[in-house]
Amino acid sequence: MSRDAEEPNGLLEQFQSLVASVSGIDGTGDLSLDLTLKAAGDKLGQLIHVLAVPHWFGAEAVRIVAGDQQFGDDPESLLNEVLRMPWVRVHPLGFVYHDEIRGKLRDALLRHQSERFREICRLLRVHVDELLDRTHHEGRIDSDTSLRRAELRRERVYLTLGYSESEGIVQLEQEFGLARREKLINAADDLIQMAREQSSLLSPSGRARIDLCSALLAFDSRDWDGAIRMLSGLNLDVLPRECVNRALLHQGMALERSGRWSEAKAFYLNRNFRRRVGGAKQDPITQAKVHQRLAEVYFASRDLKRAESAGVRSLKLNQTSGDRLGEAINLRFLGIIREKLHDTKEATALLMRSLSLFEELKLDGDAAKVCEFPVSLHEYCRA
């Protein structure tokens, strides 16, 4: 056989040998990606893997995760090597991999070197803290800086979850609560999706608390059916009491918001609900919320006597716990009931107390709503 006839078989054998060399248990499962990493060499290939842990990276991140002893080169040179890869693109905070490639690299590292993954998360968390400190020292408060800080805080949550579940969950709930208060739906969703990337490292309780955040986001987005479905599917047994209370109260409120008043009433009066939430005898704030929800459903069904009774119980608990906002809300509610019962004098007195509290709390929107009710308040509100 001629040399020309043998050569294609030789190339095929070389290719097959190369494919076999990247088909081991430490691969990503993507043949073309594994071949590229093989060609890059063991050291650079490992660096490429660890840079998939964060959502973006730069020369400082390369310096932190590489280590001089392991790679023997300066961060800029190493970064330039990584930037030659076809799946790298520019990011406002440095560089980032294409989402699909990052996912495969990140998952492979987590699957085969979980302790290394956790250590990278710990190291980069320190780096993100430093970046946050720098943005605060800059002293700027423009929109770009605010967005950058928010992205850094989300990355801090993600990285912290990678090596310390307890600390990470606290940070997650703080950041999520801030996003909810500021009605930043997209930012809250990004935070949840980033937290979910760490799910395999978390306990059932940690995963359930992320699920609760997701359900609350559906609630905030007015996706009542989605919120009810997610909240009813939560594993309450692995959640702390305060999370159980929040989940059950929001499930009831989602039923209310969707107009399913009879279902909401049955839900609040259900023995399981009362056992779960009603068991918090030493928690007047939660008990006040339970009575307030019952007052609302009784009001919706035009049972004003029971609505008023539940509202009074809620108000007393507000006063016991010092919950000024809850007190203002209940005073407004009770004033509306008295107005419905044509007791104008008592309605006006209750609404005036409510208005005073809302003004004290600087809640102008709520104060304005109080002024919409009886004619007797109109002159005061115009003053």
Task: Give the pLDDT confidence of 46-82 residue by residue, as tens digits.
Answer: 899 999 999 999 989 998 888 644 555 677 888 899 9
Question: Mean of the per-residue pLDDT values for the chain?
Answer: 87
Banded model confidence at residue 377, pLDDT cuts 50, 70, 90: low
Residue 111 has pLDDT above 50, yes or no: yes
Q: Please tell me the distance from the alpha carbon of residue 274 to that of residue 248, in angstroms, as a whole number.
A: 10
Confidence (pLDDT) at 14? 47
Q: What are 174-190's pLDDT values in tens digits?
A: 999 999 999 999 999 99
Task: Tell me whether residue 320 is in a domain.
Answer: yes
CA distance 9 to 244: 66
Domain end position, chosen among 52, 77, 112? 112
pLDDT tens readout for residues 309-340: 999 999 999 999 999 999 999 999 999 999 99
As a whole number of angstroms, the distance between CA 355 and CA 295 comes to: 20
* Helices within 96-164 (DSSP H only): 99-112, 114-138, 143-161
For 283, 355, 366, 374, the CA distances from 329, given in Å and listed in that order, are 19, 10, 9, 16
Residue 99 tokens read as: 């989402």
| Bigger pLDDT: 373 vs 377 | 373
Whether the pLDDT of residue 278 is over 90: the answer is no
Q: Do 374 and 347 meet the contact criterion of CB atoms below 8 Å apart?
A: yes
In a domain, 71, yes or no: yes
**Domain boundary, last residue among 81, 112, 143:** 112
Q: How far apart are the first and last CA of the chain?
A: 106
312 part of a folded domain? yes
Give yes or no for a contact between 228 and 257, defined as CB atoms under 8 angstroms apart: no
Write down the pLDDT at residue 16: 47
Tokens coding 257: 């918001």
Interatomic CA distance for residues 317 and 327, integer angstroms: 9
Asked if residue 101 is part of any domain, the answer here is: yes
Give residue 10's pLDDT: 57
Q: How far apart are alpha carbons 345 and 326 in whole angstroms?
A: 22
Does a structural domain hold residue 251? no
Residue 347 structural domain: 281-383
Domains in the chain: how many in total? 2
For residue 325, the one-letter residue type is L
Query: What is the distance between the alpha carbons of residues 64 and 58, in angstroms, rounded to a whole number?
Result: 10
pLDDT of residue 18: 47
Tokens 């699957």 correspond to 111
Identify the pLDDT of residue 305: 95
- Grade residue 25 by pLDDT with cuts at 50, 70 and 90: very low
CATH number of residue 298's parent domain: 1.25.40.10
Which CATH number is 89's domain given?
1.10.10
Would residue 237 count as lying in a domain?
A: no
* Range name among 25-34, 96-105, 194-203, 332-341 with the lowest pLDDT average: 25-34
Geometric angle at alpha carbon 197, from 192 and 200, rounded to 5°? 120
Q: What is the band of 36 on the pLDDT scale with cuts at 50, 70, 90?
A: confident
Highest mean pLDDT among 70-74, 194-198, 341-345, 355-359: 194-198
- 37 domain-assigned: yes
Whether the pLDDT of residue 144 is over 80: the answer is no
Confidence at residue 170, expressed as pLDDT on a 0 to 100 scale = 97
Token digits of residue 353: 């107390």
Residue 383, pLDDT > 70, answer: no
In the prediction, which pLDDT does 72 show? Answer: 57
Model confidence at 1, pLDDT cuts 50, 70, 90, reads very low
More confident residue, 369 or 311: 311
Domain termination site, one of 84, 112, 140: 112
Beta strands in 55-99 (DSSP E): 88-91, 94-97
Q: Is 99 exposed, middle or buried (0-12, 13-18, 19+ CB in 10 A)?
A: exposed
156 pLDDT above the threshold of 80: yes
Ramachandran category for residue 58: left, alpha or beta (phi over 0 → left; psi -120 to 50 → alpha): beta
Asked whether residue 302 is domain-assigned, the answer is yes
Angle between helices 284-300 and 324-340 (to 10 degrees): 20
Residue 297's nearest CA partner among 279, 285, 288, 310 is 310
Give the per-residue pLDDT at 172: 97
